[in-house]
Amino acid sequence: MTQPQHGPLAGLKIIDLSHIMAGPACGMLLADLGADVIKVEKYPDGDDSRRMVPPTVDGESAAYMILNRNKRGTAINLKSEAGCAILRRMLATADVVLENFRPGTMEKLGLGYDTLRAANPGLIYCQITGFGSTGPYADRAGFDLIGQGMSGLMSLTGEGPDRPPVKVGVPITDMTAGILGAVAILAAHVHRLKTGQGQKVEASLLEAGIMHTAWQSAIFFATGASPGPLGTAHPLAAPYQAIQTADGWINVGAANQANWLRLIEVIGVAELNSDPRFADNAGRMKHLPALIEILTTHLRQHSTAEWLARFEATGVPAGPVFSIGEMLNDPHVRARNMVVEVEHARLGKMRALGTPIKFSATPTAVTRAAPVLGQHTRELLREYGYSDAEIDQFAAGGDIVIGPGA
């Protein structure tokens, strides 16, 4: 059953043809903001992330469920004439279509932007790829690992020279490309409100990764030298990194002079400000290893919790290094509704991440768990004017998947 939509994008209809991560993350963000996002999965076994297991929850992929909440779901066979016809009917009245296939895939299906625009001039077509639709790498498949390597990110992560490259622990180019895709869609939507015209927008994993190299690219433009990995340290300010304590680690962000003076006062080494090596940021950056050795000697004398209490009392920016479990159980994270419960069609109540954007006048809500395969097929096809007899015929002919109870 269609649920009331909440949030600033209520009434916007998005057909989400994407799979795995970048596209689904984009669609999920827009669904969280209130859009009616219809996830169209491939026939017969759905999004590839359904098979990215373990872990599962009673047979349902955790990877799939985390990125597809707040969406309605169907599965359509785009290799069948009837399946393509169903999708064309859906796209004829859609506000947005989202896909992250290799460039050229939609054209081979007869569903490229120029074809769709002819039937629906207001359509916003969002394409998320590995490298964009032009340039020498346009035809390459896109994966987060490859994007991290080619964007320069993996030359910046890790501990230093002569150490293996280290990938950012989260799929940062995938997620960022998804966020950029959502930004592009919303900008195109504003343009359409003014002109009535849709357009094609693009985001890529490579360019999403490049965006994160702002500080390091600035250094290269200024000096001609490529920065290397610094562990947790900042390329332009110190001390700004994780430092060992008596029982773990603490992040210290004393990146400006005022915070530097507070830090050395609290830990009992105010004399460091008279040391010419550390008197200003340039000196601290130049002598960073010696500085961190001194700070570590003192911070190791007390626990992380003790230092956090002292730093908070004196205004020194600092924070713990949480595990995922510690983060999800943190009282502030819970107070910000970043862990929520939703009702899943098979599993009942389950936890999901909350919406990271808050609105005063048009609040968002996580109202749906990710759909089981074909969960809303019958509901959706009825909305698009198909009779139950036609829907049953499509299912029997291998054109759609109708999920349990649909």
Residue 220 lies in a domain: no
Strands of the 249-253 sheet, one edge to the other: 240-244, 249-253, 318-320
Task: Say if CB 44 and CB 398 are below 8 A apart.
Answer: yes
Q: What is the mean pLDDT of the chain?
A: 96
Residue 49 pLDDT > 60: yes
| Percentage above 90 pLDDT, the chain | 96
Which of 320, 347, 370 is the last residue in one of the domains?
320
Q: pLDDT band for position 162 (50/70/90)?
A: confident
pLDDT the model gives residue 88 = 97
For range 133-146, the mean pLDDT = 95
Q: How many distinct structural domains can be found in the chain?
A: 2
Q: pLDDT band for position 406 (50/70/90)?
A: low
User: For residue 387, what is the DSSP state?
Assistant: -
Does 203 lie in the same domain as 314? no
Q: What is the tens place of the pLDDT at every residue in 94-113?
A: 999 999 999 999 999 999 99
| CA pair distance 60, 383, nearest whole angstrom | 27
Does 340 lie in the same domain as 205? yes
State the DSSP H helix or E strand holding residue 328, giving kind and residue range, or none if neither. helix 324-328
For range 159-164, the mean pLDDT = 84
pLDDT the model gives residue 5 = 66
Residue 114 pLDDT > 70: yes
Residue 15 pLDDT > 60: yes
Which of 279, 294, 320 is the last residue in one of the domains?
320
Residue 18 pLDDT > 90: yes
Q: Which residues belong to the active site?
A: 174
Q: What is the tens place of the pLDDT at every residue in 172-181?
A: 999 999 999 9
Q: What is the tens place of the pLDDT at every residue in 175-200?
A: 999 999 999 999 999 999 999 999 99
Residue 1 pLDDT > 60: no
| CA pair distance 284, 383, nearest whole angstrom | 64
Domain that includes residue 314, residue range? 240-244+249-320
Residue 234 lies in a domain: no
Does 316 lie in the same domain as 381? no
Q: Residue 128's closest CA among 17, 210, 45?
A: 17
Does 105 lie in the same domain as 74? yes
pLDDT the model gives residue 6 = 78
A 10 A CB-CB count for 51 gives: 11
Give the CATH number of the domain where residue 50 resides: 3.40.50.10540
Residue 225 lies in a domain: no
Which of 295, 320, 345 is the last residue in one of the domains?
320
Residue 160 pLDDT > 90: no
Residue 72 lies in a domain: yes
Q: What is the tens place of the pLDDT at every residue in 358-398?
A: 999 999 999 999 999 999 999 999 999 999 999 999 999 99
Residue 224 lies in a domain: no
Give the CATH number of the domain where residue 268 resides: 3.30.1540.10
Residue 218 lies in a domain: no
Does 305 lie in the same domain as 353? no
Does 343 lie in the same domain as 313? no
